[in-house]
Amino acid sequence: MTDTQAIKNRFGIIGNSPALNHALNVAIQVSATDLSVLINGESGVGKEVFSQIIHTLSARKHNNFIAVNCGAIPEGTIDSELFGHEKGAFTGAAEARKGYFETVNGGTIFLDEIGEMPLGTQARLLRVLETGEYLRVGSSKVQKTDVRVIAATNRDLLEQANKGRFRLDLYYRLNSVPIRIPALRDRKEDINLLFRKFVIDFAERYKTTPVQLDEEARQLLMQYAWRGNVRELKNIAEQISVLSPEKQVNMKQLQAFLPDVHNPGNMPVLASGGQGFVSETTFANEREILYKLIFDMKKDMNDMKRMFLELVQNPNAATNAFAIKESLQPDDQMRSDIPLYPAPNGSITESAPVQHPYLLQHGSGTPPTAYNEPNPAFDQHEEVENSLNIMDMEKELIVKALKKHRSKRKDAALDLGISERTLYRKLKEYDIEEL
């Protein structure tokens, strides 16, 4: 049995995919040093387990290890949690308190979701990594600590740094040795092994018979998106163990336990010809297509409005123009030297042009014509400006929905096809006041 397999057995790591084995080998090699480690991976892939492996195999294994979720600590108290504070440093600080970097001195601290850490705290952390020094909140006395930092994130920290949301110098300081843990969908060969492990553990715990999947169900299990990774797979395995009426589960029965089985964005679909599966993970363009359709509809409405205004302002012009077109012979329509005037009775003549009704009534002057002169009333029609900006269109739709439902967010969200929580976030994002 290799050392790698022994470590897998010790920490309950299931799988033999090349990407997983590579990540584990890097963790084993870096454990003998004091270098900072940055673990990258989606939520649920087991980043904390890798931090425990590094600590357990290091020279600090007999000292303290603590895992801190940076995203779960409020911004106003995270400095106190990590570095401690003095008595009276802030409201409610009734006594001095040690921080994690002081209590774990000589050990390892695992900073999960490091991308959620505030910028001010990032500056303090950078100083600890570079000099081993820090200040308690409300104190001017420099403290020393010897702590190894292992950080983890499910975000692209370099992209966050380019956007000004993460310190670039801290990123490079943490990224001394990067470890990337693959998502579960990227190691499909391990999915059935993990599922089998979870159902057997459940059966042993509750003294039942473990469920089994047929071949089609195993294929579906491998092709599912697993956005929650190993954590989601374990939940599904336990649900099936509890709720399945049969111990032999087929594909149709398995589908009932997969929450996104009816959502094309989360499930595989057959490619053309039925050869294999292709994953459709996003439909981001659907909203743009919808907005383009709305824009085209508004453009058509403008055209109809223009035609309607022309008919309202110049009803005779439309009638006479149609009569002229119908009375002309094909050869006459090609000629431009024949003056055509409508006679008072509406007939058309070319041999002896009939005077315009205006001249018959007034005797002289320039008769107005509906055929070649612009109509001032029509030129003053309102032209609706259309914006192709998606955010403007989205904001406009939200405002219309709120007006339609008299500011009832629940009804407006239902009409828009989004959740009430998403609508509330959009109201804040676009600064839309309640109507």
Residue 412 maps to which CATH number? 1.10.10
Same domain, 293 and 272: no
pLDDT at position 319 is 54
Q: Which of 246, 279, 312 is the last residue of a domain?
A: 279
Q: Which amino acid is at 371?
A: Y
pLDDT at position 273 is 40
pLDDT at position 368 is 53
CATH code for the domain in which residue 21 is found: 3.40.50.300
| Domain span including residue 397 | 390-429
Contact assessment for residue 115 and residue 69, using Cβ atoms and an 8 Å cutoff = no
pTM of the model: 0.60
Domain assignment present for 385: no
pLDDT per 10-residue tile (average), the chain, 435 residues: 80 93 96 96 94 96 96 92 91 89 96 95 96 94 96 95 94 95 94 95 94 94 93 94 92 88 48 40 47 66 74 61 48 45 46 48 53 47 53 82 85 82 80 73
Same domain, 38 and 110: yes
pLDDT at position 307 is 73
pLDDT at position 427 is 84
Domain assignment present for 233: yes
pLDDT at position 69 is 95
Same domain, 107 and 160: yes
Phi, then psi, of 332 in degrees rounded to 5: -65, -35
Q: Which of 220, 249, 279 is the last residue of a domain?
A: 279
Domain assignment present for 169: yes
pLDDT at position 434 is 66
d(C-alpha 235, C-alpha 214), whole Å: 19
Q: 3-class DSSP state for residue 150?
A: strand
Total count of residues recorded for the chain: 435
d(C-alpha 161, C-alpha 169), whole Å: 9
Domain assignment present for 435: no
Domain assignment present for 7: yes
Domain assignment present for 131: yes
Same domain, 342 and 361: yes
Same domain, 75 and 169: yes
pLDDT at position 361 is 54
**Residue 380: burial class (beta carbons within 10 Å; 0-12, 13-18, 19+):** exposed
Domain count of the fold of the chain: 4
Same domain, 24 and 173: yes
Same domain, 220 and 109: no
